Amino acid sequence: MTDVALKSLTKSFGLVDVIKGVDLDIKSGEFCVFVGPSGCGKSTLLRIIAGLESATAGEIIIDGRDVSGAEPSERGIAMVFQSYALYPHLSVRDNIGFGLSLAKLPKAEIRTRVEAAAAILQLGPLLDRKPKALSGGQRQRVAIGRAMVRDPKVFLLDEPLSNLDAALRAQMRIELTDLHRRLGATMIYVTHDQVEAMTMADKIVVLNSGRIEQVGTPMELYNHPATPFVAGFIGSPKMNLFEGATAKAEGCTTYGIRPEHITLSRTGGKWQGTARHVEHLGADTIVYLKVEGMGELLARTTEDFPVAHGETLFASPIAGREFRFA
């Protein structure tokens, strides 16, 4: 069980500042997710923690020790990458135990560690297979097993599910959160997918252009976004955000309302619009309304309220669920 602290961390490539003064405390045993759009600095920040990139300034404290100048192997971390990076000519058993073999651990200890990790990851029957005989999810579990056997203080995971199809990503999210609960380990996970962040994290760190926009639990960020950026990034479909005349009428600089907090009617409401696009998702229907003087407004409704393309509808915000940003 290990705490991680980042203090005034910066990273520059020449004149370009990529990480701009990050301060963050990650508690022992937390599943912490770095999330943000491409180019926000989340993977760079993870690589700095791992020691694969050096910080320009600041400190990295792992388990109470400043490891800012330490080699990756001296930091007590294990990293799982987007690419599985398995050796195709080695069995699952040998892939998982490869790092331990390099460290020249006794064969009996390697066997014990590999089989223990395989049991947790449900890879026991597959230990003698080669990677080509595995599914994508099984290969990713082998990569996680290779990290597990090192008994790290902190797991670092850099978009490990992005190469999987949608169904397998959903399954692996469950498996990873189950693994976290069983191990009780500190995990830092990078993704651009806010659904992964919302469904897996104890703590979410929203990054934007090298800075932390907000830190909190998934529901704290959903219910109390600190900035329009966080409001627009957390939640699916994304929040409706309006500036200009619409925001001015609400007494703010940016006005926000989530699609699920809008009611639709055919008899009257706050805004009148035309359904320019309708997405039928089974239990939910997403309606894209074109509202005069406002632009596009997304509303989420249910299958009990069928909507046709081109239909005129009225939309109203649910009281108390609006956001007004100064």
- DSSP for 167-214? HHHHHHHHHHHHHHHHH--EEEEEES-HHHHHHH-SEEEEEETTEEEE
Q: How far is residue 299 from each of residues 96, 97, 234, measured CA to CA in Å?
A: 47, 51, 16
Place of tokens 């249910």: 302
**Contact call for residues 122 and 141 (beta carbons, < 8 A):** yes
The architecture of the domain spanning 2-231 is 3-Layer(aba) Sandwich (3.40)
pLDDT at 288 over 70: yes
The closest alpha carbon to 52, from 26, 29, 81, 32, belongs to 81
**Residue 325 pairs with which residues in a beta bridge?**
254
Tens of pLDDT, residues 145-176: 888 888 888 999 998 888 778 887 888 888 88
The C-alpha angle with vertex 159 and arms to 154 and 161, in degrees rounded to 5, equals 110
How many helices (DSSP H) and strands (DSSP E) are in the chain? 10, 18
pLDDT digits (tens, 9 = 90+) for 199-238: 999 999 999 999 999 999 999 999 999 999 999 999 989 9
C-alpha distances (whole Å) from 60 to each of 22, 40, 46, 99, 239 are 11, 19, 11, 25, 35
Cα–Cα distance, 242 to 256 (Å, whole number): 6
For 303-326, write each residue's pLDDT tens digit. Answer: 778 888 999 999 999 999 999 999
Q: Kindly tell me if the per-residue pLDDT of 66 is higher than 90.
A: yes
pLDDT attached to residue 141: 86
Q: Say if residue 1's pLDDT is above 70.
A: no
Decide if 2-231 and 238-325 have a common fold: no
Return the closest-CA partner of residue 279 out of 287, 268, 271. Answer: 287
Domain boundaries, the chain: 2-231, 238-325
Tokens of 67: 């490891």
Rounded CA separation 230/314 (Å): 27
Q: What is the mean pLDDT of the chain?
A: 92
Condensed to tens digits (0 to 9), the pLDDT of residues 81-119 reads 877 788 999 999 999 999 899 888 999 999 999 998 898
The proportion of the chain whose per-residue pLDDT surpasses 70, expressed as a percent, equals 100
Name the CATH superfamily for 238-325. Nucleic acid-binding proteins (2.40.50.140)
